[in-house]
Each structure stands twice: as C-alpha cells, then as structure tokens.
Amino acid sequence: MTQEEDGPREPAAVTPTAEPAPVRPPERGPRVRAAIRRVAIVAAQLLVIAAAIVGLGYLLGRLWVVLFPVVLGLLLTTVLWPAVRFLRAHRWPAALAAATVLLAFLALLVTIGVLVVPPVVGQVGELTEQATAGLEQVRQWLTGPPLNLGEDQIGETIDNVFAALQSNAQNIAGYVLTWATSVGSGIVNAVLALVLCFFFLKDGPRWVPWLAAQTGPRAGVHVTQLSERSWRTLSEFIRQQALVGFIDAFFIGIGLWFLGVPLVLPLAVLTFFAAFIPIIGAFVAGAFAVLVALVDRGPTTALIVLGIVLVVQQLEGNVLQPLIQGRGLSLHPAVVILAVAAGSSLAGITGAFLAVPVAAIVAVAYRYARDHLDNHRPEDAPAATVPDE
C-alpha cells in the first residue's frame, strides 16, 4: 500500500538548534601589549636608522677634507663631459680629449678671472657698504612715521632682525668672493679637483661597470641604475643652473646699467653664483640689487629694480626652467628651501650650494626604491647619458 493510501503523514518534529555562543573579544590587556610590542619594534628600527644616518654624517664630516676635492671634480666633470664625449665620438683618444677640454676650460677661467675678478674684488667693499646703508634706510622708514614701529617691542625686534641682516650681508658677499677667488688652502683642493676631473673625463665610462662588478650580480643592476640616474640629475642641475644664472645675470645687469645703478659687475656676478642656490639665492641677489639702487638712486629707482628682478625671476620660473630644465629636479619648493636651510646651517655657503643636488639625488634613490618595490623593472629606466667605451 502506498503512502497516499495510508493517508497523510504528520510532519517530522524539528529539533531546535542551539544558538552559537557569543564570541568574546580578546582581553584589553593582550591587545595593549601587542600594540606596545609593535610600536617598540618600529621605534627600535627608527632608532637604528637614525643612528646609521648620524654615523654616516659623522664619517662624512671627518672625511670631508678628502671628499671635497672629489665632489668638486665630479661637478666640474658634469660641465666638461659633453665636450669630451663629442671629441671621443670623433675618434679622439680618451686622454687627449680629456686633456684638451680641461686645458681649454682652464684658459677660459683664467681669461674671465683677469677681466672680471679684479674689478669685482675692488668693488665688493663698496657693495657691502651700500647694502648696509640700504638696510639702515629701510629700518628708519619702518621705525619712523607713519608706522612708528620703533616705539614698542616690535621695533626692537625689527632692530635685531636688521642688525643680523647687516652682519650677514658682509658675510654673504665675502663668502661669494672667497668661494670664487680663494687662494691658499683652496689651491690644494682646486689642484686635486682638476686632477680627479681629468681621470673622471678619461676613464668615466669605466667607473660604473667597475663599481657594479665589485658589488655582485644582484646589487650590480641597482648600482648601475642608481649611478646613471644620479649622474643624469647632477649633470642637468649644474649645466641648467649655470645657463639660467647667466641669463638672470645678463638681464638684471642690463637693467641696472640702463638705470645708472652702480656696482653692476659685482651684482651680476653675485646673481650668477646665487642661481646655484635655488629660491634663496635669487632672493639674496635681488635684495642686494634693490638696496644698492635705494641708496644710490632713491626709492623710485629701487622700486623699478625690484620690478626688473621680479620680472626676470618670473621669466626664469615660468619660461626658462620649463624650456631648459624640463622636469628639472622634481623637487617641491618647500623641499628646496628646507634643504638649503639645512645645508647652510651645517656647512655654510658650501652646504647651501650642495644641498639641492644632494636632495635631488636622495629623491632619485627614493623614487628608484619605490619603483622597485612596485615591481617596475630596473631595465625600464631611461638610458644613461654617459656612453660606454
């Protein structure tokens, strides 16, 4: 007999299932201890990194006497390498090409030195006196009517600021002239830099392969790529800043000469060298020109000079640098200012000069590490500007 014949069956009883027990979160104590452990590990890692950076900085400081000629030689090599590369491409021997370009460069330096250095040195004292007098006029204007800032504590602060500027004005001009025309111990560094520059120019394409061979096959690829990118960045910075500085000095010098402002030559030289310290250098050089114009020609001419300086700097920032530098150093202006401030506080005018290229090279290393961590292959990097043998 089928189920239909037996009649409807009653539904089977459903056994109720027990609700799962609530999951209790871990105790607060273990979580706090785990968080503290992680923070302690990160803090220890940061302390080790900071200790390594401090140790490296101390070691570089102790070896700076030896490293400074090497740095000068490298910077000089970045300027002369295109000419040497051209001669070598036309089948000149490496040693002959390096010696010819280096001797021609020295002859050019001597010629410029004979024509420019004596009048600049003769007028640097007058330049600092004019700048100091200009600062004094600005101070008197701020502390007198209608502002009358000298009647309260703000006036005392302004006096301190201008006193510091007056004392540093002579140091800035003196540092520029000392760096450009120093003798004595600087001759030793210059000779060593020239000798090293000759070897860098002659054997330059062999350095990176040799260094990569010493570090092994795994690290050699990264050493090669970092060296090529750093060289390209350093070369672009030196050559492009030199061209931008020359253009700035030329146009500002023409404007000062047309307005009858004295000390045109030392102000133009100061503008050229200040171009190697981005942002800060342009501000200092422009301030010197405005102060000299204020003392010698009055506030109207000083305002015109200020306008000329601003126009030239805007032309540099919005036209020259995009055309000449392309992407440039890819550094934010705030990073440039902080780098210059840190470099000048650690090593004076030399540190301010080297701060931006060093920061750019650090940025190159950071970007390379970031690309490597993002699985970008090193061989995808742009080709180096330094050719092989």
Sketch the domain layout of the chain as residue ranges.
35-380
DSSP classification of residue 144 = S
Q: Which of 380, 332, 387 is nearest to 360 (CA)?
A: 332
Give the pLDDT band (50/70/90) at residue 103. very high
Per the confidence metrics, is the pTM higher than 0.75?
no
Phi/psi of residue 9, each to 5°? -95, 145
pLDDT greater than 80 at residue 48: yes
Round to whole Å and give the CA distance between 131 and 148: 23
pLDDT greater than 90 at residue 52: yes
The pLDDT value recorded for residue 100 is: 93
Round to whole Å and give the CA distance between 32 and 208: 50
Neighbours of 103 (CB within 10 A): 11
**Dihedral (Cα; 79, 81, 82, 87), 10-degree rounding:** 140
Structure tokens, 215: 């570090």
Query: Would you tell me the crossing angle of helices 185-259 and 64-89 to the nearest 10 degrees?
Result: 70
Give the pLDDT band (50/70/90) at residue 102. very high
The pLDDT value recorded for residue 299 is: 81
pLDDT greater than 50 at residue 224: yes
Structure tokens, 359: 């920061």
Round to whole Å and give the CA distance between 325 and 281: 18
Round to whole Å and give the CA distance between 341 and 333: 12
Structure tokens, 351: 């540190």
% residues pLDDT > 70 (the chain) = 68
Round to whole Å and give the CA distance between 59 and 9: 94
Are 161 and 169 in contact by the 8 Å Cβ rule? The answer is: no
Q: Which of 170, 174, 180, 355 is nearest to 277 (CA)?
A: 355
Over the stretch 141-164, which tens digit does the pLDDT of each residue have?
766 666 556 545 445 555 565 565
Q: Which has the minimum average pLDDT: 106-110, 277-281, 371-375?
A: 277-281
Give the pLDDT band (50/70/90) at residue 275. confident
Q: Which has the minimum average pLDDT: 45-54, 195-204, 375-384?
A: 375-384
Q: Which of 309, 277, 280, 273 is nearest to 293 (CA)?
A: 309
Over the stretch 2-19, which tens digit does the pLDDT of each residue have?
445 555 555 555 555 556
277: left (phi over 0), alpha (psi -120 to 50) or beta: beta
Interval 320-345 mean pLDDT: 71
The pLDDT value recorded for residue 47 is: 95
Over the stretch 197-210, which tens digit does the pLDDT of each residue have?
999 888 877 888 88
How far from chain centre, in Å, is Cα 342? Answer: 11
Give alpha helix (H) positions in the chain.
3-6, 28-62, 64-89, 94-143, 153-181, 185-259, 264-274, 280-297, 299-315, 333-373
Q: Which of 245, 242, 246, 236 is nearest to 360 (CA)?
A: 236
Over the stretch 239-252, which tens digit does the pLDDT of each residue have?
888 888 888 888 88
